[in-house]
Amino acid sequence: MTRTTGRGRHIAVAAGSGLALVAVILGSVAVANQASDGGGSTHAAVDAKSPSAKVPRERGKAAEPDAGGPVSEEISHDSESSGKVVNITIDDGPDPVWTPKVLDLLRRNDVKATFCMIGPRAKEYPSLVKKVVAEGHRLCDHSMDHNTSMDKRPESYQASQILDAQKLIEDAAGDGVKVRYYRAPGGAFTPYSRKVAAAHGMRPLGWQVDSRDWQRPGVARIVANVKREVPSGPTILFHDAGGDRSQTMAAMEETLPWLKQQGYGFSFPKI
């Protein structure tokens, strides 16, 4: 059996104390790193050279299936349901006058829709965003400022328009609700904006049927536009903000029952 002298015991104790101190320091560094990872903004800054940057997930928060992760960059025009269906999409809200009326109309006709919202309007009217979600509709990011010339602006501008609006809409919706689509104002998509949206879980969303209700051409013309164009594809464009939407309401009152009479069902755009 090896004996340890008094001097040897002091050396062993000193060595053990040194190792313990190193372990404490390393542990403190690890804790500090972990704490710093959990802070910061809710989405990653998008580098123009790296358009597929992803939102860092909050620590301890489980992944949500089919939401929040990358999706296809291709513009969606189709429906997620097969058969004879249409997708009703409602742009430019929420609006305190018209959004509740649109929601009531959809409820009475048993129709679900996709609401493409402007970020600051969602922040201003969070109760309406929550009501849209509570009634079973889906959310779409329609940018911060509705700039129809976004495709001519720098990539940094496009990224902030998309991601800042996403954050405001999701904050207004609450309860971990995700924005499922991104629709460029006026269809002003770019390859970059599509990549940014898709990398943050939002499928770029187009349309085939423009009711042109935004022009306020008269109820009969809006209805005729839908009836003429609906054979070309399922995604129909209406609006619940941007001015007087009384013509839109009257046209939808006529159009939704007509679509049912023609054998159409109602679905959501394909993600």
**Residue 49, burial from CB neighbour count under 10 angstroms (0-12, 13-18, 19+):** exposed
Contact 97, 68 (CB under 8 A): no
d(CA 83, CA 181): 22
Q: Name which of 53, 15, 86, 105 is nearest 233 in CA terms.
A: 86
Q: Would you please indicate which residues are annotated as catalytic (active-site) residues?
A: 91, 239
DSSP state of 242: S
Per-residue tokens: 254: 């006529």
At residue 225, the 3 state secondary structure works out as helix
Contact 129, 139 (CB under 8 A): yes
Per-residue tokens: 251: 């046209």
Q: Which residue bears the tokens 């689509």?
A: 181
Bridge partners of 87, per DSSP, are 235, 267
